[in-house]
């Protein structure tokens, strides 16, 4: 690192932890499809790959800039549309763009639209910003239906990703090749966005989030900082959109530009953890598991999701990532052993509560939708009869018992947890003094 | 456009605008008092409609008109007490997020209890039929009832805030919460009342909006983004601005959906006629009624570019 024209010798220690983590990330991306070979797993892995990019780009706004956007699907979706049109044009030979560069086309489109709409949205911050992004999102979503020529109306636009000359012998027909394309982009974009957090713009963006007034006094234009960050986020969102277009070979305006989609990005970026860089990666995994597996399992999955989100905002606003980091800290000080009994108790009582609740919800849904199929609901291997009062009383009893015991264990756990945190604080002070 | 068409459309627009105002007034009140943007506000509107449907099936519409908003207000107060207050210390973005989560939850619960399709929430006998007939076009009683209720509500909220002791307390808690607390008033309870009151107003709008329009799970989403537009266009936290913007958007939207003109049809017989093979034809052939859904949002963008603080707003941020 030391430049030749420097008059002094400088030494930077190699950051071993960083190299290990990034190598592991690359390894996981490379090995995952070899471990999970079913076609469902491969589809899920591809989706996780580009959702990581999208959620991380969303977190540039939410986590790093404090900008709560309700319209992120606009940049992802428009990126998808431009990418799919580029693929169709390239297949006709009108433009010489190989498939491997299509996500970049999507990215540039996302960047262009972010520059266009961001000029209006980033004029404000905080809650007003949130409302304006919502309005712009609705504007774009309803406008898309007015121009069926470009957006394909209700049916959407389709394409074929296999076109042109092969790239290093790959034609990207099989899903596994698409996965590796997604994985390479995922790694590059994650690295790029991580690097962005260290740039002067990334640092000042954090300052704008924490104390915009002081940043203005130092001489920066906060609106400009937000605008630039918005454009960067739009670029990465567009790349994610382009990859989604390659993966599905179809884009539909009703779905991909909708406010529901934007809400989903917000929900899972937050659930994963917006305060840590890697939180949205967890969020992307959760999103795919929830939307593919949980939605298969239960019709009421949005209800469970809403409940989980509500409790997360109330009790763990740093998301799953913050829970992991807090426990890592406890483990680092060698005190995790004291907690595992409480964790077991918490998990057991929570499981009882959730099972009881799920039984009630499933029975109500069954009465709503499938009562023609008879009164019996299959639930986790058991058969619940919606007409017998016994099952209802039993289910409610399980909920109440679970909730009561959970509250008792939670109080004990909180005491224990606070004590450990105090111990850690003391330990840190002692080490500093030594 | 004939004059009777214009008059009836104007009345329809004003009644829709007043319904929007009932929603946006609660939102604005909560926002200007507590700084909380209640994302679930239209979910309370929907809840009001569904509760009124169930309650009016038992005791009739008129008691439901009172009971349903009270229940919705109570639910709002409970939510404020046990959920919103917990995240208050983390700032406004987590507050917005928690109401966002609530909007998912209410939507799912409504679908769980009342099903995924429309419920037959009809008008009571007294509100059926036209109020008067103007040049052969009828103006329904239910729409005039919306106008009446919202004007009464506007007057009573204004009187409550400016002429009563509790209203003065609320105003004081808005600007000097610490001083009011030092004088021995329970400020968190005032906030709880304000939040519950705002939700009750949304519930009231739901009771009368639900049977005039449609009661379905999508009703929260369909007005949700519109009232956010109203609040931003009127100026964040300005009740008068919300009133103006609601009427404006209500009237503009009602007129727009009824007009079948497009740029191409207007210019058809002039020298500048646009032919189907012209490249701007897809844009020029859109009729005003097709463009109607996006007009509020276009309005929002224009306001933000030319008058960022809103029509009557004072806040610059």
A307 in contact with chain B, both atoms CB, cutoff 8 A: yes
How far is residue A254 CA from its own chain's centroid?
21
Residues B130 and A130: their CA atoms lie apart, in Å, by 41
B:211-250 residues touching chain A, CB 8 A cutoff: 221, 225, 228-229, 231-232, 236
Q: How many CA atoms lie within 13 A of B298 on its CB side?
A: 9
Beta strands per DSSP E along chain B: 130-134, 137-140
Q: What is the per-residue pLDDT for B46?
A: 93
> Do A302 and B104 lie within an 8 Å CB cutoff?
yes
For residues A355 and A173, give the distance between their C-alpha atoms in angstroms, rounded to a whole number. Answer: 43
Quick check: A125 contacting B, CB < 8 Å?
Answer: yes
Asked if B180 and B169 touch (Cβ cutoff 8 Å), the reply is yes
Q: How many Cβ pairs closer than 8 A exist between chain A and B?
A: 124
Summarize the confidence of residues B125-129 as an average pLDDT. Answer: 74
Q: What pLDDT does residue B279 have?
A: 65
- Of A127, A135, A369, Cβ closest to residue B300: A135
Question: Which DSSP category does A161 fall into?
Answer: S
∠ CA A70-A74-A78, rounded to 5°: 170
CA nearest neighbour of A111 among A231, A29, A265, A243: A231
Which is more confidently placed, A163 or A262? A262
Cβ-Cβ contacts under 8 Å, B228 against chain A: 131, 134-135
Residue A46 in contact with residue A208, Cβ under 8 Å? no
Q: Note the pLDDT of residue A3.
A: 46
pLDDT digits (tens, 9 = 90+) for A63-118: 898 888 888 999 999 999 999 999 888 888 888 888 888 899 999 999 999 999 99
pLDDT bin (cut points 50, 70, 90) of residue B217 is: confident
Note the pLDDT of residue B275: 65
Q: Which of B255, B261, B236 lies closest to B317, judged by CA? A: B236
Confidence category of residue A1, pLDDT binned at 50, 70, 90: very low
CB B23 within 8 A of CB B177: no
Determine whether the interchain pair A131/B97 forms a contact, defined as Cβ–Cβ distance below 8 Å. Answer: no
Mean pLDDT of A33-53: 88
Most confident of A146-155, A182-191, A303-312: A182-191
The DSSP code sequence of A341-404 is HHHHHHHHHHHHHHHHHHHHHHHHHHHHH-GGG-SEEEETTEEEETT-HHHHHHHHHHHHHHHH
pLDDT digits (tens, 9 = 90+) for A53-76: 999 999 999 989 888 888 899 999
Model ipTM over 0.85: no
Distance separating alpha carbons of residues A357 and A209, to the nearest angstrom: 39
The answer to whether residue A269 neighbours chain B at the CB level (below 8 Å) is: no
CA angle, corner A38, sides to A37 and A41, nearest 5?
90
Give pLDDT, residue A176. 84
What are phi and psi for residue B104, nearest 5 degrees? -60, -45
Q: pLDDT tier at A305 (50, 70, 90 boundaries)?
A: confident
Whole-number Å distance between alpha carbons of A107 and A235: 5
- Report the alpha-carbon angle B272-B276-B280, nearest 5: 65
How far apart (Å, rounded) are the C-alpha atoms in residues B91 and A174? Answer: 48
Q: Please compute Rg for chain B using Cα positions.
A: 21
Interface mutation target, options B35, B97, B223, B308, chain A, most CBs of A under 10 Å: B97
| Interchain contact, B92 vs A127, CB within 8 Å | yes
Contact: A317, B301; criterion CB under 8 Å: no
Portion of chain B with pLDDT greater than 70, in percent: 90
Contact B179/A at CB under 8 A? no
| Continuous segment of H or E residues that includes residue A251 | strand A250-251
Calculate the alpha carbon distances from B269 to A393, B119, B289 in Å.
74, 48, 21
CA A197 distance to own-chain centroid? 17
pLDDT at A259: 81
- Statement: residue A353 has pLDDT above 90: no
| Residue B94: partners with Cβ closer than 8 Å, 6 or more residues away | A313, A317, B87
Q: Note the pLDDT tens digit of each residue in A370-420.
A: 666 777 777 776 777 777 777 788 888 888 888 888 888 888 888 888 888
| Confidence bin at B116 (pLDDT 50/70/90) | confident
A8 CA: distance to closest CA in chain B (Å): 47
Residue-wise pLDDT tens digits, A11-24? 667 777 788 888 88
**pLDDT tens digit sequence for B17-60:** 998 998 888 888 888 877 788 889 999 999 999 999 999 888 88
pLDDT at A379: 72
Residue in chain B lying closest to A266 (CA): B97
pLDDT at A112: 94
Annotate B169-201 with DSSP letters as a single string.
HHHHHHH-HHHHHHTT--HHHHHHHHHHHHHHH
Do A124 and B37 touch, CB atoms closer than 8 A?
Answer: no
Long-range pairs for B262-266: beta carbons < 8 A, 24 or more residues apart: B262/B286, B262/B287, B262/B288, B262/B290
Which of A4-8, A163-167, B137-141 is the least confident region? A4-8
Residue spans of the domains in chain B: they are: 3-221
- pLDDT score of A167 more than 80: no
Q: Where are chain A's structural domains?
A: 16-305, 333-433
**Contact criterion met (CB < 8 Å) for B108 and A306:** yes
A25 at B interface, C-beta within 8 A: no
Question: Cα-flanking dihedrals φ and ψ of residue B78, to 5°?
Answer: -60, -45
Task: Give per-residue pLDDT as tens, A180-221.
Answer: 999 999 999 999 999 999 999 999 999 998 888 999 999 999
Chain centroid, CA B148 distance in Å: 16
Mean pLDDT of A141-158: 82
pLDDT score of B268 more than 80? no
Q: Which CATH architecture has domain A16-305?
A: Orthogonal Bundle (1.10)
Q: What is the pLDDT of residue A57?
A: 94
Nearest CB to A134 within list B225, B286, B294: B225
> What pLDDT digit, counting tens, does each position of A221-234 carry?
999 999 999 999 99
Label residue A144 by pLDDT band (50, 70, 90): confident
Mutate to test the interface with A, among B300, B307, B308, B309 (most CBs of A within 10 A): B300
* B173 within 8 A of B190, measured Cβ to Cβ: yes
In the 8-state DSSP scheme, what is residue B88? G
Where residue B300 falls among pLDDT bands split at 50, 70, 90? Answer: confident
The reply to whether residue A309 touches residue B228, judged by beta carbons under 8 angstroms, is no
Q: For residue A136, give Cα distances in angstroms to A396, B127, B242.
A: 44, 38, 19
Closest residue to A314, CB basis, from B87, B96, B300:
B87
Looking at the DSSP bridge assignments, the partners of residue B137 are B134
Distance in Å from the first CA to the final CA of chain A: 33
pLDDT tops 60 at residue B82: yes
């Amino acid at each position: 690192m030391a430049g030749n024209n420097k008059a002094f010798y400088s030494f930077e220690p190699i950051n071993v932890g960083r190299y290990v983590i990034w190598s592991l990330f690359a390894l996981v991306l490379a090995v995952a499809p070899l471990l999970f070979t079913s076609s469902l797993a491969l589809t899920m892995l591809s989706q996780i790959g580009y959702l990581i990019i999208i959620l991380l780009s969303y977190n540039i706004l939410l986590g790093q800039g404090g900008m709560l956007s309700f319209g992120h699907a606009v940049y992802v979706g428009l990126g998808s549309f431009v990418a799919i049109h580029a693929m169709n044009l390239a297949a006709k030979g009108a433009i010489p763009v190989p498939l491997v560069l299509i996500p970049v086309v999507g990215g540039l489109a996302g960047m262009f639209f972010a520059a266009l709409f961001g000029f209006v949205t980033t004029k404000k911050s905080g809650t007003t910003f949130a409302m304006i992004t919502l309005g712009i999102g609705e504007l774009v979503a309803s406008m898309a239906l007015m121009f069926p020529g470009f957006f394909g109306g209700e049916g959407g636009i389709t394409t074929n990703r296999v076109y042109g000359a092969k790239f290093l012998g790959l034609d990207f027909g099989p899903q596994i090749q698409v996965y590796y394309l997604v994985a390479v982009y995922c790694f590059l974009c994650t690295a790029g966005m991580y690097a962005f957090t260290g740039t002067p713009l990334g640092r000042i963006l954090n300052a704008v989030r924490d104390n915009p007034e002081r940043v203005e006094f130092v001489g920066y234009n906060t609106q400009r900082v937000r605008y630039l960050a918005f454009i960067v986020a739009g670029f990465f969102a567009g790349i994610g959109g382009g990859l989604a277009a390659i993966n599905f070979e179809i884009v539909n305006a009703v779905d991909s530009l909708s406010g529901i989609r934007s809400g989903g990005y917000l929900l899972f970026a937050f659930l994963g953890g917006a305060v840590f860089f890697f939180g949205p990666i967890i969020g992307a995994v959760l999103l795919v598991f929830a939307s593919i597996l949980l939605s298969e399992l239960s019709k009421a999955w949005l209800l469970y999701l809403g409940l989980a989100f509500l409790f997360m905002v109330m009790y763990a606003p740093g998301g799953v990532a913050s829970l992991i980091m807090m426990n890592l800290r406890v483990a680092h000080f060698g005190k995790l052993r004291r907690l595992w009994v409480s964790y077991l108790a918490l998990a057991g009582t929570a499981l009882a509560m959730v099972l009881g609740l799920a039984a009630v919800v499933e029975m109500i849904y069954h009465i709503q939708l499938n009562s023609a199929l008879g009164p019996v609901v299959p639930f986790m291997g058991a058969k619940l009869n919606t007409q017998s009062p016994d099952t209802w009383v039993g289910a409610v009893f399980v909920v109440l018992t679970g909730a009561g015991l959970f509250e008792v264990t939670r109080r004990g756990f909180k005491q224990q947890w606070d004590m450990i945190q105090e111990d850690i604080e003391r330990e840190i002070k002692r080490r500093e003094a030594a | 456009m004939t004059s009777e068409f214009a008059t009836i459309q104007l009345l329809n627009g004003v009644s829709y605008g007043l319904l929007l105002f009932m929603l946006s007034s609660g939102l604005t009140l909560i926002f200007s008092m507590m700084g909380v943007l209640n994302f679930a506000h239209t979910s309370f509107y929907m809840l009001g409609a569904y509760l009124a449907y169930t309650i009016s099936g038992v005791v009739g519409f008129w008691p439901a008109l009172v009971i349903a908003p009270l229940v919705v207000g109570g639910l709002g107060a409970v939510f404020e007490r046990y959920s919103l207050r917990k995240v208050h210390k983390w700032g406004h973005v987590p507050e917005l997020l928690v109401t966002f989560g609530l909007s998912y939850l209410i939507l799912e619960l409504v679908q769980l209890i009342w099903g995924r399709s429309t419920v037959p929430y009809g008008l009571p006998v007294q509100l059926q039929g036209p109020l008067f007939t103007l040049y052969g076009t009828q103006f329904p009683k239910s729409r005039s009832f919306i106008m009446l209720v919202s004007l009464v509500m506007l007057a009573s909220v204004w009187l409550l805030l400016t002429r009563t002791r509790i209203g003065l307390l609320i105003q004081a808690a808005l600007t000097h919460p610490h001083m009011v607390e030092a004088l021995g008033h329970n400020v968190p309870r005032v906030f709880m009342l304000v939040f519950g009151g705002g939700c009750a107003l949304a519930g009231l709008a739901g009771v009368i909006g639900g049977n005039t329009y449609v009661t379905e799970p999508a009703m929260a989403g369909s007005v949700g983004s519109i009232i956010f537009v109203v609040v931003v266009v009127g100026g964040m936290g300005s009740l008068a601005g919300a009133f103006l913007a609601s009427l404006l958007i209500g009237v503009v939207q009602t007129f727009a959906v009824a007009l079948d003109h497009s740029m191409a049809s207007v210019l058809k017989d002039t020298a500048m006629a646009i032919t189907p093979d012209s490249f701007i034809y897809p844009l020029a052939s859109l009729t005003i009624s097709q463009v109607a859904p996006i007009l509020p949002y276009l309005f929002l963008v224009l306001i933000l570019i030319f008058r960022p603080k809103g029509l009557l707003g004072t806040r610059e941020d």
